[in-house]
């Protein structure tokens, strides 16, 4: 094994005792023969392993969790707030409808239904109107054929009126 290869392994798998380092035996063999690489290994141990061996492990400050909790709760509060506001708005709309006095509500509903029905069937409305007018014309004509006198003008007027309608 050459020095370059040995030093590369010293800086990685050999130093970290990685189980996948199949060349550990060869590195050891090389180190027995190479003073320079032995020195390299010692300096590496001191400047790398030794520097971090005393690293202190700390717990995060208390305020970190408080901050996280506050953010979670405020976010949950906002979403609950939106839902609550929506529900309240719906409840308010229904309650304002329910607060109308019942007779007024029934009357309003009846008018609304009548308007809807009439607007939905205009032909029915016209037929009813024409039927009523024809009945009235026939009735007045019959009166004229009988005992009526001096009523020509009236008869003519009626005929004109009926023509206008029909």
What letter would DSSP give residue 150? S
Query: Please, which of residues 52-111 interact with other proteins by CB under 8 A?
Result: 52, 54-61, 63-65, 67-69, 71-73, 76
Of residues 12, 86, 142, 159, which one binds other proteins by CB under 8 A?
12
Instruction: Give the position of tokens 């005792």.
Output: 17
Nearer to other proteins, 51 or 95 (CB): 51
Q: Write the interaction track for other proteins spanning residues 15-34; mark x where CB under 8 A is met and - where it is not.
A: xx-x-x--------------
DSSP assignment string, 40-79:
HHHHHIIIIIHHHHT----PPPHHHHHHHHHHHHHHHHHH
CA distance 18 to 98: 77
Stretch that binds other proteins, among 6-14, 22-30, 89-97, 150-158 (CB under 8 A): 6-14
CA distance 159 to 41: 129
Apex 19 CA angle, 14 and 24, nearest 5: 40
Q: Under rule CB under 8 A, how many of the chain's residues touch other proteins?
A: 37
Instruction: Give the position of tokens 């009813």.
Output: 128
Cβ of residue 43: shortest distance to other proteins, in angstroms?
4
Nearer to other proteins, 18 or 29 (CB): 18
Nearer to other proteins, 48 or 116 (CB): 48
Cβ of residue 18: shortest distance to other proteins, in angstroms?
6
What letter would DSSP give residue 16? H
Tokens at residue 26, please?
Answer: 């060869």
What letter would DSSP give residue 99? T
Binding site for other proteins (CB under 8 A): 8, 11-13, 15-16, 18, 20, 36, 39-40, 43-44, 46-49, 51-52, 54-61, 63-65, 67-69, 71-73, 76
């Amino acid at each position: 094994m050459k020095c370059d290869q040995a030093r590369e392994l010293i800086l990685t798998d050999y130093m970290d005792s990685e189980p996948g380092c199949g060349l550990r035996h060869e590195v050891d063999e090389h180190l027995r023969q190479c003073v320079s690489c032995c020195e390299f290994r010692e300096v590496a141990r001191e400047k790398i392993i030794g520097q971090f061996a005393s690293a202190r492990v700390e717990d995060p400050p208390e305020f970190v969790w408080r901050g996280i909790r506050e953010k979670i709760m405020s976010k949950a509060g906002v979403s609950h707030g939106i839902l609550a506001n929506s529900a309240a708005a719906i409840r308010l709309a229904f309650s304002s409808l329910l607060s109308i006095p019942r007779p007024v509500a029934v009357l309003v509903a009846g008018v609304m239904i009548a308007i809807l029905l009439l607007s939905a069937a205009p032909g029915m409305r016209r037929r009813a109107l024409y039927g009523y007018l024809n009945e009235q014309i026939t009735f007045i004509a019959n009166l004229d054929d009988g005992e009526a006198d001096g009523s020509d003008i009236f008869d003519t007027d009626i005929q004109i009126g009926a023509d206008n309608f029909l």
